[in-house]
Amino acid sequence: GDSVTQTEGQVALSEEDFLTIHCNYSASGYPALFWYVQYPGEGPQFLFRASRDKEKGSSRGFEATYDKGTTSFHLRKASVQESDSAVYYCAPGSGKLTFGDGTVLTVKP
């Protein structure tokens, strides 16, 4: 079945740093991956969907590209802000309703 592995449990950056969060994806079919963000005290929010080889998804300055060679989707942002501090989850598509372990992003001013 489809499964995801987030390799970074925690990421600490300063404002304007470049962000990369890795999500390794094992898919039995057509790969599509969702990114969600959870701010403290809130439920997860849909960030965007990415699919296909090299087809990017993007939202709020975040983007993700599927790397067919490594079967990975990497969440990237060129310049993070303190307000981006949150937990980021990747989740496989295909109605699996499961989530990765999450990556806690802390951005210092």
Closest distance of CB 79 from other proteins, Å: 26
| Residue 42 makes contact with other proteins by CB under 8 A | yes
Q: How far apart are CA 31 and CA 53, in angstroms?
A: 9
The site string for other proteins over 70-109 (x = CB under 8 A, - otherwise) reads -------------------x-x-xxx-xxxxxx-x-----
Q: Among 55, 29, 47, which residue's Cα sits nearest to residue 102?
A: 47
Which parts of this chain interact with other proteins (CB under 8 A)?
32, 34, 36, 41-46, 49, 89, 91, 93-95, 97-102, 104
